[in-house]
Each structure stands twice: as structure tokens, then as C-alpha cells.
Structure 1
Amino acid sequence: MSKEISTTIHGETLDVERIVEKSVGQEIREQARGGAEAEHNLPPLEAIRKYPWTLFWCLVVSMCVVMEGYDTNLLNNFYAYPTFAKKYGHWNEGTNNYQLDAAWQASLVNAAPVGAFFGTLLNGVLVPRFGHIKVLIGALLSLSAFIFIVFFSPNTTVLLVGEILCGLPWGIFTTTAPAYASEVLPMSLRVYMTSWANMCFIIGHLISAGVLAGLVNNTTQWAYRIPFALQWFWPCVLIPVIFFAPDTPWHLVRVERHEDALKSLARLRPKATETELHDALGLIIYTNDLEHQLSVGTSYWDCFKGFELRRTEIACMVFAGQIFTGLNFAYNSTYFFQQIGLDPTTTYHLNVGGTGMGLFATIMCWIFVMPYVGRRTAYLWGIFVMTILLMLIGGLNKKTENDSVAMAQAVLALIWTFVFQLSSGQLGWAIPAEIGSTRLRQKTICLARNAYAIANIVSGVLQPYFMNPTEWNLKGYTGFIWGGTSFFMFIWTYFRLPETKDRTFEELDLLFAKGVPARKFSTYNTETFRDTETGTEKVQSHASMA
């Protein structure tokens, strides 16, 4: 039997769902019931036909993430780029070429993540106040100014400052895009478009890989200045379009602008009937009030209270898990390819091929994985396969003087990229966007992204020392290190990651409030919108109302 949700007020146990009904009224409750039924009965293809404008605005907003994907791939691969190394590095007699010191490599690769860390925290405060669209436009305008610094940087110090400043708006882009998608899309499309942000990241990688491959033989300063300059293209295109995008109805309900929320739904779903729009709005109002009655606040501190702590842990671990499974080693792998003896041209062609494989894997994930396989299952077994691949790369390192073995290591890294984008690469964006309560969604995503940023910074400091021939020079043995952290993520996922597929936000609220174990999420019957006269077993909630 499903457990009833209750809470305590001055020592008296009360049924939260009955309190919500009294708070919102019978009409809203019935609309919410209709909205929930519509969510469950709407298959993906019908949702695409019915809500094309919703998809369009999600696509546009998420395109902002292309810029971070472009730049993060740019700097990581510039280390093996001859003209960049000559400009910002020094001659190394041991390797007979120009190299950046490991300390500068670590500083530059972590500059943008440091900026993104603070931009993400700032975003968690700005979006609840101003809405997603105004914040995005402000971030795009800021980025347009900061690009001048990296483009004209005469030395590594100025380049470092420019990357930190550029990281501020990138932190806003990567946390706003999945939150926006999760709040405007019907449930059946939620995982596709929240993970579309990851696709945009890959598109950014692919563009930068193509630009670098095309300029690798250019011996002038424009070999690295042109890639920097291309970043101005995106704000010029996106600002005029995003200006007309509607804000999310969830945000408008949270700030008690219900009429504007209905207008936003009408813009997002122009083919919906009046009844469907009111049912959708009713579900939003009901869910928001349910979370309010469960004492779900709206501050960062509230993310660490009661059952919200569990949701925050899951979001943070899933996003940071991308780093723990070897992202900085196997994904941005041109420097690794160079260190195991592959020539620059082969290295950059492999980089383009690897990024293309990632893009193909993302599409395959949308078609063959997401519609049929749960989030938990795909994330869990994807990590298992990546762990094996990383261990194999490490095991082959004794024979890297053999060109065939070195190429085999490179191929394994490319296969890792494919598996990553079939699993944690996609779901690392999608799960944090739907796991948090709606009142704390933006802040939960921001905390998750910052958990990723912290893991990325630590990895970014260590990775150059693992790989640099003037430091530890581990080369392929680095696969053992990331294979170990990847196995840790496999264990955590098995015990802690719940299944969120085919669950509305209201159902997820109830599952977490009832403390349902992670492995029972997919089969647990929440019995939402039950007959309020039916008596069922009461349990003590994790929440406590003042």
C-alpha cells in the first residue's frame, strides 16, 4: 500500500496532500489531476507535433552552451598546438618542441571553470528574481565584452584573467539551459531537451576541433587568434532571438504571476486547448503548493535540509560523475595522443573523429536508449563499460613504443567517448535538471554544476602533472587512476541513483518525501490525486512545518 505524506505542526501529524487541496481548492486539484494524466498519456512524437514552439525555444536557449563547449575544447587542445605553445610556452630540450609549464597548463585550464563556479552561484540568485530570459541576455552581452580580453591577450597572465571572466557567463549558460528546458517541456520530452544542452556542448567541441584541425599548419598568430575571434559569432546571433523567448510558467507561478504563466503556456503550446492550458497551469500551481507545504524553501540553504539533501547529493554526484569517469583524460585527448607518440596532424584528425563519434552517440542515445531504457540503468552500465576501457588503456601503456599499441590506446579513448555520450554524458545534464524540487530547481542545478566545476578544477590541476613529460609523465597509466574513480562512481550509482523516467515533478516530490529507496523508485505506486476520504497509513515526513 502506498504511504500517505504527512508533516508535523506543533506536534500534530497532518496529511500534507489534504492541506494542499484545501490551500489550492477543488478546481485546481481537478485541473492538476487532468494535467498529470495528460503528461503520462502524451508520447514523444505526439508531443513534438503538438508543441513545436516549445521545442524551438528550448533549442535556442540551449545553443548558448555551444560557446562553453567550444572554448573548453579549445584551451585543452591548444597545449599541443604548435603556434599557441610557441607564443605562451618555452622551448623544451627534452621533447625538442615548445611546451607550456604544467603549472600554467593547470592554471589556464581551470580559469574558465573558476569563473563558471561563481557565475553559477550568481545565476542561482538572479534567475529566481529576474527570470531565465533576462539573465541570459545579460550574460550574452557580458561575454561579448570579455572575449576582447582573450583575443588580444599578450601573455598568459592576461589570457588567464580573460578566461576567468568568460567563465562567469558560461556558468550561467550551462545552468539556465537545462532548467529552462525542464520547466517548459512535457514529461515525455524532458530528458531529450535537457540533454540537448549536452549536444550543444558536443557541437561546440566539434566546431573547435574542426577549426583547430584546419589551422594546425598555420604558422602565424592567426592560428590561435581566429579560434578566439569566432566566439563573437554566437552572441550576435542569439541575443536578437532570445529577446522574444517566453519565460517559464513555473517561474511565473513561483512569483505569483498566474495570469502571465497562463499566457506563457499559450505561447509555448499554441495548439493546446483552453482546458489543456488550464490543466497544465493547475498541475504547476498544485506542485508548487505541495512543495511549499513540505517546507521546501527557495534559498541555497534549503537544498541541504530534510529530503532535499538527498536530491542535492544525487544532482551533484551525477554531474560531477562525468569528471570521475575520466572526462579530462579520455575526452579531451589530443595532448594524450601527442604524449604516446602520435604526430600533430593525426592527433587533431582523431580529435575531430572522436567529437563526431560523440555527436553520433548522442543521437543514438536519443533514438535507442532514452525511449526504452531508464536513466538509472543507462548511467550505471555506461560507467561500468567506461571503467573497463580506462583500465585497458592503462594496461597497454607498457607497449606504447609500438605504434600499433599507441593507436589502440587512441581507439579505446574514442570508444570511451562513444560510451560516455550514450550514458553519463547525456544523463549528467538531464538528471540534475529533473531531480530537484521545482522551487529549488535552479539552485539544485547550480550546486550540481558547481560540484562538477570543483571536480573539474581538481582534475584540471592534476591532469597536466599526470601527462606532462617534465612532471610525472604517466601517459596511459593515467587510465588506472581514472578507472579507479570511475569504479567508485559505479558503486555509488548502484546504491544511490533513483529512476526518474516517466515521473512527473509532483510524483518525484512524493517519492523523496516518503524516503523511497533508490532501487524501488521505478516500481513504487505514489497514488497521486487519490480520493481524500480514503484512509491510508500515515508516516512521519522528513519535512517539518514551522
Structure 2
Amino acid sequence: MTLARGLRLYPKAIGWSVLLSSALVMEGYDLALLGSLYASPAFNQKYGRLTPNGTYKVPASWQSALSNGARAGEVIGLLINGVVSERWGYRKTMVGALTAMVAFIFVLFFAPNVETLVVGEVLCGIEWGIFQTLAVSYASEVCPVVLRPYLTTYINMCWVFGQFVAAGVNRGAVQRHDQWAYRIPFAIQWVWPLPILIGCLFAPESPWWHVRKGDHEGARRALQRLTSGNDPNFSIDDTIAMIEHTNELEKELSAGTSYWDCFKGIDLRRTEIVCGVWIVQTLCGQNIMGYSTYFLVQAGLPTVHSFDMSMGQLGLGLLGTMGSWFLMPHFGRRTLHLTGVSTLFVILFIVGCLGFSDTTSAKWAVGAMLIVFTFVYDFTVGPISYSLVTEISSTRLKTKTLVLARSCYNISNIVVNVLTNYQLNSTSWNWGVRAAYFWAGTAFICAVWEFFRLPEPKGRTYSELDILFEQRVSARKFKSTKVDPFDGEHQYTHPSEVMEDVSLEKIDKQ
């Protein structure tokens, strides 16, 4: 299927996927919001403590509790989603999470002290954890192969857009000195869940989920609502038959849908790759992207303009994500991801070298290099990761594999955040800019791992990927190896005989 045909045939699926993915705007918004609020005098006076110099400041311990509280909540939400969404479906799980989100924002808005604020962050983090894997699973299942990379990478754009909005809101509220300096930013979080919740009430369920539940008619109704019906060469029955064929093939290759099955047989390799891709995001130096404005302030840029600089940096991130859409059809996922990590290694090494100079020009150069880092990251590693994790995992274990991988991401992110604070804090290790050397080293290790372990899923159907993993094809040979998922070795007879008058040759063409 060409891109043009996919856009004509699946406009409804695109719309529903974009709607559910938009829930990730809230996560990006809140995580960026907290970091900015620490610079707000009104926020510090409300939730901080009086320091010896007469100003109020939220203690570092409570700053860590707020940031890591949200991460801990996300891990809980991920584990909940792995069980609930597979039992009740993506749509019902999303509706329940959005309803809870509306209620838990009240905790943040009316929090009388920092302890209650931490509780609110944990409770909201549970919903963000559900959104993280549910949106990407839904996007990968409701659209054909040709649209899959665009809709999964769009999730990264939602995350960056949330950060962009947070920077803008803080830029407008930073000059206030009353309670609304922090209450307005918290209240804006109610803007997102209500319209998304209303839309999700009418959203179709994934046809893959219906097939896994043995509901052929439900899958047919869902696919009818996801497609336009204007293509005379498209057959819903053929598509449902291929979904069922893929599902049965995966049952033959690796029966079971529990968390333990993610570590058995060929699925162990797929779990390793998916977890590795998301861990690479945290180990390639992503954590120091937000410090470009810090170094620019050190170089002499007025503090009030640091918000403007951060908005420009996030704007480049949005452009980078859109740029990846044009590169993926030509270069594939593995090539872009590996090139991106390798480029980030070079940038970090240069930043570390600049750390030996304490001149103003060197600080400006560091800030500029970190802005370039942001653009490269959101051009390659950031969005491409979402496409890779959905394509590498099997359809029957997709939700649980993504839950495990995103949990690894959040746990590693907590460790990375603690390390970064120690590295840059003048009262701790005080590495300063030279901390970039450390992350250059981790980025190099990530690049080596990807060269040997990361396969290329570009243009492959889920059944083709199943066969490639079953045959234990080397990651570097995935792109060139030819497979036929409909040969005699992998055929099956479905008990409902829905494939009675659909030949395998016709399905292969479809």
C-alpha cells in the first residue's frame, strides 16, 4: 500500500489515533512545568522553606520527590495498563484513565503543602503511565504498515508540544507574585482530558484486540469505522483474515500472553530490543538537553529571556519530529536511530571539550551545541524510538512488552536524573560541562549495542517480523532477508473458517 492510498483509505483511523495520542501532551506539559515552577518566587514561597539569605526555596529533597514521584506513579500506571487494556480494551481503559485524571488534577490545584503536591504527582503519574503505552499500542494497530511510523512518531511530537506549551504558560505567569502564578499552570491541565475523554467515548476499538478475544464480528465493525470504504480494491474480510492469520501464527510460535511469556523463546530477544531502545533514550545524554538555557544564563543572557530560549529550543524539537517523517520512508528506522545516537556522541564529546574553557564564548558555544543536540535528538532518536518499539514487539505481547520497556525507561530516568544532579551541582561532584564526557561514553555504548542488536523493521508486516525473529536472523540482515509468512510451513486452519473463500495468494497481495 502506498502512502497516498493509506491516507485515502484510513483517514478515520488517523484521526482516532491522533486523538488518543494527544493525551501524551499532558505528560510532557507537567514534567516541563515542574522544572520551571522551581524558579517561581510565588511557588517557592507556598511550598518551599525560608533560607538563611531570606528567600524561599523548595528543598532539593522535595524537588526530587516531586519529579521522581511522577515517575514512580508512571511505573504503577504502566503495570496496570498491561493487565487492564488487554482485558477491557484500549478505549475503555483510556476513558477510565482520563476520568481519573480530571479528578486528580484537583489534588495539584488545591494542594496546601508540598507533601500533598507529591501525592498529586504520584496519582497523576499513574494516568500518564497508562497513556504512555496505550496510545502507542493503539496507533500501531489501527493503521496499515505504511502509516504506522508516522502515527507512532507523532507521539513524540505530542510530548514535545506539551513541553512547548508549559514553557509558554510559565513565560506568561513567571512575573506574577500571587497564588495564580502556580495555580493557573496547574489549572490549564484540565484543558486536555475533557475533549479527549468525550472523543474516546465514540472511538472504535482496535480490530487486533477483537481478534485476540476471538470476536470476528467486532473486528469487522471496528475496521469498518476505521476505513473510508472508498477503495474498491480493499476488502475488510481479507484484512481481518490476515490479522487472524498473524495472531494464529504468533500463537504457534509463542503461545501465551503473560508477562512471563515476554522472556521466553524468541520473545526474549524482542523484549531485550524494545527495552534497549527506550533505555537508549535516557543514556544518550537526553537529560542535559534542558541545561542549554542554564549555560546561556551563565554566559550573560538575562534570566527572563531563558524562557524564550527554551521555547525556541522546543520549537526546533517539533520541527525535528516532522523532519523525521520525511526521512523514514527513505532511510528506515535502524539507520536513522543509529546515526542519531552516533551524532549525539560527537556533540557530547565536543561539549565536554568546551568545558575546559571558562570564557563567555565557550559558554555560548555550549548552549548552542545543546540546542543542536535537541534538534538532532528530536530528528532521530526521540520519534524513531516510538516506531521501533511498536514494530519489534509481537502483537499478542505488545502491551506487556511496551509496559516492561517503558518501566525500564522510567526507572533508568530516575537514576539518570540523580546522577545529573550530582554531576552538575557545585556542592557535589561539580563536574560542570565536563559531565558531557560521561554521557558521551554511554552514548557510544548505546551505538555499539544498536549496531549489533537493533534490526530494521521498515516495510515489514507483523507476520514477516514474526518469521524473521523465529529464524533468528541477524539484526544487520533483517533488511535484506526475504520471507514468506504464507508458505506451507506457517499456514493454519482457523476454526471459524473465516478464510474459507480467501486464498493465501489474495491475502498476500492485500
Q: Same-fold call, TM > 0.5?
A: yes
- 2:279 is the alignment partner of 1:320: yes
Q: Which residue of 1 aligns with 2:79?
A: 121
Answer yes or no: is the 8 Å Cα contact 1:321–1:428 preserved in 2: no
- 2:397 is the alignment partner of 1:440: yes
In 1, the alpha carbon distance for the partners of 2:50 and 2:347 equals 34
Aligned residue pairs total 490
Answer yes or no: is the 8 Å Cα contact 2:292–2:366 preserved in 1: no
In 1, the alpha carbon distance for the partners of 2:473 and 2:417 equals 37
Answer yes or no: is the 8 Å Cα contact 1:54–1:185 preserved in 2: yes
In 2, the alpha carbon distance for the partners of 1:69 and 1:313 equals 26
| Partner residue of 2:383 out of 426, 432, 437 | 426
CA shift digits 1:325-355 (9 cap, x unpaired): 1122114655565566643212211110110
- Call closer, same or farther: CA 1:349–1:483 in 2, change over 3 Å: same
Q: Which residue of 1 aligns with 2:288?
A: 329
- 2:234 is the alignment partner of 1:245: no
Q: Which residue of 1 aligns with 2:502?
A: none
CA shift digits 1:406-446 (9 cap, x unpaired): 22211111110100011110012111111111100111111
In 2, the alpha carbon distance for the partners of 1:533 and 1:161 equals 51
In 2, the alpha carbon distance for the partners of 1:459 and 1:250 equals 36
Larger RCO, structures 1/2 (Cα 8 Å, 6+ apart): 1
In 2, the alpha carbon distance for the partners of 1:101 and 1:295 equals 50
Q: Which residue of 1 aligns with 2:374?
A: 417
Q: Which residue of 1 aligns with 2:324?
A: 365
Which shows bigger deviation, 463-472 or 443-452? 463-472
- Call closer, same or farther: CA 1:202–1:349 in 2, change over 3 Å: same
In 2, the alpha carbon distance for the partners of 1:233 and 1:326 equals 32
- What's the TM-score once normalised by structure 2's chain length? 0.92
Question: Match of 1:399, SS?
Answer: coil
| Partner residue of 1:302 out of 249, 261, 277 | 261
- 2:361 is the alignment partner of 1:404: yes
Q: 5+ unaligned residues in a row in structure 2: which ranges?
A: 492-510
Answer yes or no: is the 8 Å Cα contact 2:42–2:178 preserved in 1: yes
In 1, the alpha carbon distance for the partners of 2:399 and 2:472 equals 23
CA shift digits 1:152-185 (9 cap, x unpaired): 2232211111101100000001111110010011
Answer yes or no: is the 8 Å Cα contact 1:77–1:334 preserved in 2: no
In 1, the alpha carbon distance for the partners of 2:490 and 2:242 equals 21
Q: Which residue of 2 aligns with 1:216?
A: 174
| Partner residue of 2:309 out of 350, 353, 356 | 350
Question: Match of 1:346, SS?
Answer: helix
Matching residue's letter, 1:407: W
Matching residue's letter, 2:16: W
Matching residue's letter, 1:486: A
Q: Which residue of 2 aligns with 1:160?
A: 118
In 1, the alpha carbon distance for the partners of 2:302 and 2:116 equals 30
Q: Quote the offset at 1:91 in angstroms.
A: 5.7
- 2:47 is the alignment partner of 1:80: no
Answer yes or no: is the 8 Å Cα contact 1:396–1:409 preserved in 2: yes
In 2, the alpha carbon distance for the partners of 1:216 and 1:383 equals 35
CA shift digits 1:221-249 (9 cap, x unpaired): 22222111100111111111111000000
In 1, the alpha carbon distance for the partners of 2:299 and 2:243 equals 54
Q: Which residue of 2 aligns with 1:456?
A: 413
- 2:16 is the alignment partner of 1:57: yes
Q: 5+ unaligned residues in a row in structure 1: which ranges?
A: 1-41, 535-546
In 1, the alpha carbon distance for the partners of 2:52 and 2:437 equals 29
In 1, the alpha carbon distance for the partners of 2:293 and 2:69 equals 20
Question: Match of 1:438, SS?
Answer: coil
Answer yes or no: is the 8 Å Cα contact 2:295–2:364 preserved in 1: no
Q: Which residue of 1 aligns with 2:433?
A: 476
- Call closer, same or farther: CA 1:262–1:175 in 2, change over 3 Å: same
Q: Quote the offset at 1:274 in angstroms.
A: 8.6
Answer yes or no: is the 8 Å Cα contact 1:76–1:332 preserved in 2: no
Answer yes or no: is the 8 Å Cα contact 2:101–2:127 preserved in 1: yes
In 2, the alpha carbon distance for the partners of 1:173 and 1:68 equals 9
Q: Aligned Cα RMSD in Å?
A: 2.0
Q: Which runs of 4+ in 1 moved over 6 A?
A: none
- Call closer, same or farther: CA 1:519–1:83 in 2, change over 3 Å: same
Answer yes or no: is the 8 Å Cα contact 1:182–1:190 preserved in 2: yes
- Call closer, same or farther: CA 1:379–1:247 in 2, change over 3 Å: same
Q: Which residue of 1 aligns with 2:424?
A: 467
Matching residue's letter, 2:170: L
Which shows bigger deviation, 58-67 or 428-437? 428-437
Matching residue's letter, 1:382: G
Q: Which residue of 2 aligns with 1:151?
A: 109
| Partner residue of 1:256 out of 211, 214, 220 | 214
In 2, the alpha carbon distance for the partners of 1:218 and 1:198 equals 31
Matching residue's letter, 1:137: V
CA shift digits 1:119-169 (9 cap, x unpaired): 001100001100000000100011111111112223221111110110000
Alignment of 1:30-109 (within 5 A): 42-90=1-49, 99-109=57-67
Q: Percent identity?
A: 43
Which shows bigger deviation, 438-447 or 43-52? 43-52
